[in-house]
């Protein structure tokens, strides 16, 4: 799923709903802002996707930021503005008239009569609708209505009573729903209740008969869908058909009737079709499989399980057909029926008696399966966490991985190692089973039973349980053999209780024992990262993470060329050890790693590689120790087994993941850091699915960056001991929040400036210390060296200040000293001055302790 230009908005209708129900906004639901995809080069046209009729029920995830995202992005790439309709009120013409095309993905909640009327009016006025349906008995939310029934306007076998079998609460939710044949009556077409299985629809009508829609289309995939019946050829026309000569063996396995009604081809009815209704248009396809992609967003509303969807949009020519259909729908054309155009008209499709709406029958009791206890399809309060409409986020799922040799042998049994991470410590989980199948569904594996016996047929294993260790990791070994001679790709799947948890592709080939195994090739880690999956390599480097903090006993290792994750289970290794490792290259959730470890040899201990300073985590620094400086903490989120946050630098966010197994708790993190803090952070570069991550190893690897005040130089280096000085201190601060500036000299302390008074110090060198602090507690210090001097011209000042400060106790003594000082100042040469200075000193020493304080003599150093 691409998200390059998805944003959200809040419509007036949704805003009104939020105002009616304050404080109850769902984590995901109609009250949340709807996603929008803006085109890079707009063509001026707009497409609206319905998400107000159960489009996310069950395993469906047909939304533009979920499993219909590839389709929606493809539309946007052609210049269309794409938006999702979210509301709890019935669709009105006003909701649609601003849009050129309204797409209805596989609805699971019936349209009310007033909604059908709104859709008809919208189309008659020039709008276009794309109806995407599915096979009969899909019934994702188990409300007894399938998408094909909803599109047609009546429920099979319940035309006279659309709420047949429902309780009072369900009937209340169905208010406004009436049976009709509205689709056939107004669009000249009806979805059949058949169920063709996995088939390639390759009967493609020529582009010159389909307004160019089938240009570039040679085949379209079907994976359990339906076809349509043409009831009015002047209004409706088929453009893609199933191949001829189909029979009941080609139906979808769980189909409730023959599944194939008229042997395929034209009589089976079109798989994709178009229609004209006055000024507007419509298009139809009988399966959601060609539209979906493998990026579901929501949990299953009934069970809370994660959904599995598939890359149907990229299969065959599915995307070409679908996007061409949107282009045709968006083009306004004045003709009102196909009879006005120079194209051949279709024949009316043959119908079985049971296809007449009022004569239809219900082959099996509905719903096809009993809903889970406490789940009500009409009540979002009963929806599971993480589903669309739920009020609660879902916890992250455990992760799954099969470790195995590659290729898997098709002529002998082999062992699979199932590894499950993310469970609770000591948790036991039951109900798992595993199997292997080919595209098309054929089961080809037998999994050995717990008692050592083998199953009698190919299929899924018997159910088994796993128990997690103290780190939440469970490992299960399975012994498997496949149908002999089966070669090429196959699908290996893990299930639980019928839900698909994990599917991966494996390769089957004959095991040959006469070819000696090749010695693993020694290479740098950078070279190993470039090898294809399953290549046996040998690398060496330093262990850079504590084994086990990211699962099992795995760790990262790094050499001079790069880093890589080592997935293994043996204990006894430590961070800082230099090791040589032999193993196979693999990719797990897009992270390149070594698995199936054959050996790890210790080569002693060494220093860890230095951190590389980077701006973000990307492909070039995967597995390496990296550091990001001057990033801002944002979007802190907590999960059951970890917490995460963004480091935003230069408007680009890097996701940081902190696994609980590191010993770093959210509480300890938040006691030191908060959103908005500017920090330098170090860790190991990694990736999970499509998200680049920085894996934090220690809380000490985050350092808060501060902006302490800056003390400028002072213009003060020499001063006379007899004079008074006031020297300003200049301090700057990035945040302009200086709180305190203090200067110190000996026992003197000043605020904001340096103040020197006469005779504060004796001649000599001194250090003035200046400290500054801001309101956030950041502080800085500087020390300035200054020299205090006694100048020849200041001898009289020294005597005057000494007399004033009480160093000289007799005015007559002061007068005699002044005369002798004057003699020193007036001496004609240096020898004379030195002699007169000695005479002055002699007199002062004679009076020291009597009429002159002893400490006063310290000020008298031979003047400069």
Model confidence over 620-673: pLDDT tens digits? 999 999 999 999 999 999 876 789 999 999 889 999 999 988 999 999 999 999
Number of Cβ within 10 Å of residue 398's Cβ equals: 21
Q: pLDDT tens for residues 235-275?
A: 999 999 999 999 999 999 999 999 999 999 999 999 999 99
Using CA atoms, how far apart are residues 493 and 540, in angstroms rounded to an integer? 34
Using CA atoms, how far apart are residues 52 and 388, in angstroms rounded to an integer? 11
pLDDT value, residue 3: 32
Q: Phi and psi at residue 48, in whole multiples of 5°? A: -120, 130
Exposed e or buried b per residue across 77-115, where buried means at least 16 C-beta atoms within 10 angstroms of its C-beta: bbebbbbbbbbeebbbeebbeebbbbbbbbbbbbbbbeb
Q: Does residue 201 contact residue 250 with C-beta atoms inside 8 Å? A: no
Residue listed under structure tokens 């269309």: 80
pLDDT value, residue 424: 85
Q: Does residue 290 contact residue 133 with C-beta atoms inside 8 Å? A: no
Q: Is 127 exposed, middle or buried (0-12, 13-18, 19+ CB in 10 A)?
A: buried
Decide: helix, strand or coil at residue 75: helix
Q: Is 744 exposed, middle or buried (0-12, 13-18, 19+ CB in 10 A)?
A: middle
- More confident: 1 or 174: 174
Peptide bond into 367 cis (omega under 30): yes
- What are the tokens at 488? 């090429």
Q: pLDDT tens for residues 161-208?
A: 999 999 999 999 999 999 999 999 999 999 999 999 999 999 999 999
Percent of the chain surpassing pLDDT 90: 73
Q: Does residue 594 contact residue 536 with C-beta atoms inside 8 Å? A: no
DSSP character at residue 848: B
User: First-to-last CA distance in the chain?
Assistant: 83
Decide if pLDDT at 31 tops 50: yes
Using CA atoms, how far apart are residues 835 and 824, in angstroms rounded to an integer? 8
Residue listed under structure tokens 């062992």: 415
The partner residues of 198 in beta bridges, in order of sequence, read: 223
Decide if pLDDT at 11 tops 50: no
Q: Smallest Cα–Cα separation from 230: which of 350, 363, 131?
A: 350
Lowest mean pLDDT among 392-406, 481-495, 747-761: 392-406
- What are the tokens at 603? 């080569």
pLDDT value, residue 708: 84
Number of Cβ within 10 Å of residue 736's Cβ equals: 8
Q: Is 267 exposed, middle or buried (0-12, 13-18, 19+ CB in 10 A)?
A: middle
pLDDT value, residue 600: 95
> Average of pLDDT values for 557-582?
94
Q: Phi and psi at residue 71, in whole multiples of 5°? A: -65, -50
Handedness of CA 59, 64, 65, 67 (dihedral sign): positive
pLDDT value, residue 517: 55
Using CA atoms, how far apart are residues 281 and 123, in angstroms rounded to an integer? 6
Q: What is the DSSP string of 337-363?
A: SGGGSSSPPPPPPP--GGGSGGG---S
> Average of pLDDT values for 513-526?
74
Residue listed under structure tokens 């979210």: 86
Helix (H) or strand (E) holding 822, with range, is: helix 811-826
Using CA atoms, how far apart are residues 504 and 412, in angstroms rounded to an integer? 21
Decide if pLDDT at 853 tops 50: yes
- What are the tokens at 708? 């302490």
Handedness of CA 814, 819, 822, 823 (dihedral sign): negative
Q: Does residue 264 contact residue 271 with C-beta atoms inside 8 Å? A: no
Q: Does residue 288 contact residue 272 with C-beta atoms inside 8 Å? A: no
Q: 481 CB contacts (<8 Å, ≥6 apart)?
A: 412, 413, 414, 445, 446, 448, 454
- What are the tokens at 129? 């609708």
pLDDT value, residue 170: 96
From residue 65, give the alpha-carbon distance in Å to each of 31, 68, 71, 292: 16, 7, 10, 11
Percent of the chain surpassing pLDDT 70: 96
143, 146, 149, 153: CA torsion to nearest 10:
50
Q: What is the DSSP string of 2-58?
A: --TTEEEE--HHHHHHHHHSTT---SSSTTSPEEEE--SS--S-EEEEE-SSSTTST
pLDDT value, residue 13: 29
The percent helix, strand, coil of the chain (3-state, each to 5) is 20, 30, 50
Decide if pLDDT at 801 tops 60: yes
Give pTM, 2 decimals.
0.55
Q: Smallest Cα–Cα separation from 623: which of 558, 691, 579, 672?
A: 558
Q: Please, what is the average pLDDT of the chain?
A: 90
pLDDT value, residue 14: 27
Decide if pLDDT at 308 tops 90: no
pLDDT value, residue 423: 86
pLDDT value, residue 810: 84
Q: Phi and psi at residue 124, in whole multiples of 5°? A: -60, -30
Band of residue 690 on the pLDDT scale cut at 50, 70, 90: confident
- What are the tokens at 255? 């189909």
> Average of pLDDT values for 720-747?
90
Q: Does residue 817 contact residue 799 with C-beta atoms inside 8 Å? A: yes
Using CA atoms, how far apart are residues 244 and 150, in angstroms rounded to an integer? 28
Decide if pLDDT at 226 tops 60: yes
Band of residue 518 on the pLDDT scale cut at 50, 70, 90: low
pLDDT value, residue 9: 33
pLDDT value, residue 764: 92
């Amino acid at each position: 799923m691409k998200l390059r230009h998805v944003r959200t908005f809040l419509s007036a209708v949704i805003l009104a709903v939020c105002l009616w129900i304050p404080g109850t906004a769902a984590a995901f639901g109609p009250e949340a802002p709807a996603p929008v995809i803006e085109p890079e080069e707009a063509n001026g046209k707009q497409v609206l996707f319905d998400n107000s009729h159960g489009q996310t029920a069950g395993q469906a995830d047909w939304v533009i930021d979920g499993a219909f995202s590839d389709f929606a992005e493809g539309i946007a790439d052609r210049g269309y503005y794409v938006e999702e309709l979210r509301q709890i009120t019935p669709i009105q013409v006003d909701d649609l008239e601003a849009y050129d095309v309204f797409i209805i993905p596989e609805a699971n909640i019936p349209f009310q009569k007033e909604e059908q009327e709104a859709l008809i009016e919208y189309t008659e006025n020039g709008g276009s609708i794309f109806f995407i349906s599915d096979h009969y008995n899909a019934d994702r939310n188990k409300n007894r209505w399938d998408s094909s029934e909803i599109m047609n306007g009546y429920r099979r076998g319940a035309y006279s009573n659309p709420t047949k079998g429902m309780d009072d609460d369900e009937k209340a939710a169905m208010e406004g729903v009436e049976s009709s044949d509205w689709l056939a009556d107004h669009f000249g077409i009806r979805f059949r209740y058949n169920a063709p299985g996995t088939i390639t629809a390759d009967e493609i009508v020529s582009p010159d008969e389909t307004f160019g829609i089938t240009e570039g289309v040679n085949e379209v995939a079907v994976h359990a869908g339906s076809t349509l019946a043409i009831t009015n050829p002047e209004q409706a026309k088929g453009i893609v058909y199933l191949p001829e000569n189909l029979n009941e063996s080609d139906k979808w396995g769980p189909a409730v009737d023959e599944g194939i009604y008229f042997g395929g081809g034209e009589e089976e009815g079109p798989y994709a079709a178009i229609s004209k209704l006055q000024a507007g248009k419509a298009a139809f396809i009988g399966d959601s499989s060609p539209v979906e992609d493998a990026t579901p967003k929501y949990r299953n509303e009934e069970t809370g399980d994660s959904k599995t969807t598939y890359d149907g949009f990229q299969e065959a020519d599915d995307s070409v057909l679908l996007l061409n259909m949107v282009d045709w729908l968006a083009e306004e054309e004045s003709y009102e029926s196909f009879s006005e155009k120079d194209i051949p008209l279709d024949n009316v499709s043959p119908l079985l008696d049971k296809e007449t709406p009022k004569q239809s029958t219900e082959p099996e009791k509905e719903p096809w399966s009993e809903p889970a206890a406490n789940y009500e399809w009409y009540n979002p309060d009963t929806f599971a966490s993480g589903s669309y409409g739920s009020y609660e986020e879902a916890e992250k799922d455990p992760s799954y991985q099969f470790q195995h040799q590659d290729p898997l042998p098709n002529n002998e049994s082999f062992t699979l190692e199932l590894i499950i991470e993310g469970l609770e410590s000591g948790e036991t989980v039951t109900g798992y089973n595993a199997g292997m199948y080919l595209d098309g569904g054929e089961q080809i594996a037998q999994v050995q039973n717990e008692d050592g016996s083998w199953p009698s047929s190919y299929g899924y294993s018997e159910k088994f349980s796993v128990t997690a260790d103290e780190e939440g990791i469970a490992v299960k070994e399975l012994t498997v053999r496949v149908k002999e001679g089966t070669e090429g790709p196959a699908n290996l799947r893990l299930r639980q209780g019928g839900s698909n948890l994990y599917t991966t592709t494996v390769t089957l080939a004959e095991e040959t024992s006469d070819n000696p195994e090749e010695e693993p090739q020694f290479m740098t880690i950078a070279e190993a990262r470039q090898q294809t999956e399953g290549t046996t390599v040998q690398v060496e480097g330093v262990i850079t993470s504590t084994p086990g903090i990211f699962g099992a006993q795995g760790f990262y290792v790094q050499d001079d060329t790069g880093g890589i994750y080592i997935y293994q289970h043996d204990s006894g290794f430590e961070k800082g050890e230099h090791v040589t490792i032999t193993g196979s290259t693999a990719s797990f959730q897009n992270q390149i790693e070594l698995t199936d470890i054959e050996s790890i040899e210790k080569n002693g201990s060494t220093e860890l590689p230095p951190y590389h300073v980077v701006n973000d985590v990307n492909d070039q620094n995967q597995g390496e120790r990296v550091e990001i400086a001057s990033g801002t903490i944002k979007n802190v989120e907590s999960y059951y087994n970890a917490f995460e946050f963004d480091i935003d630098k230069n408007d680009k966010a890097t996701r940081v993941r902190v696994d609980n197994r590191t010993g770093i708790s959210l509480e300890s993190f938040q006691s030191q850091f908060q959103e908005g803090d500017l920090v330098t952070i170090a860790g190991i570069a990694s990736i999970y699915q499509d998200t680049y991550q920085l894996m934090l190893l220690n809380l000490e690897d985050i350092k808060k960056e501060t902006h302490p005040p800056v003390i400028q130089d002072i213009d003060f280096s020499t001063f006379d001991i007899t004079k008074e000085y006031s020297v300003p201190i200049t301090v700057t601060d990035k945040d302009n929040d200086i709180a305190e500036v203090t200067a110190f000299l000996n026992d003197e302390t000043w605020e904001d400036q340096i103040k020197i008074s006469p005779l504060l110090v004796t001649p000599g060198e001194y250090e003035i210390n200046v400290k500054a602090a801001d309101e956030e507690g950041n502080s800085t210090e500087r020390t300035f060296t200054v020299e205090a001097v006694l100048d020849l011209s200041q001898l009289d000042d020294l005597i005057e200040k000494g007399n004033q400060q009480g160093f000289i106790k007799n005015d007559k003594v002061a007068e005699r000293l002044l005369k002798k000082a004057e003699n020193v100042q007036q001496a004609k040469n240096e020898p004379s001055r030195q002699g007169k200075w000695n005479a002055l000193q002699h007199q002062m020493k004679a009076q020291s302790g009597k009429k002159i304080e002893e400490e006063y003599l310290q000020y008298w150093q031979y003047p400069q």
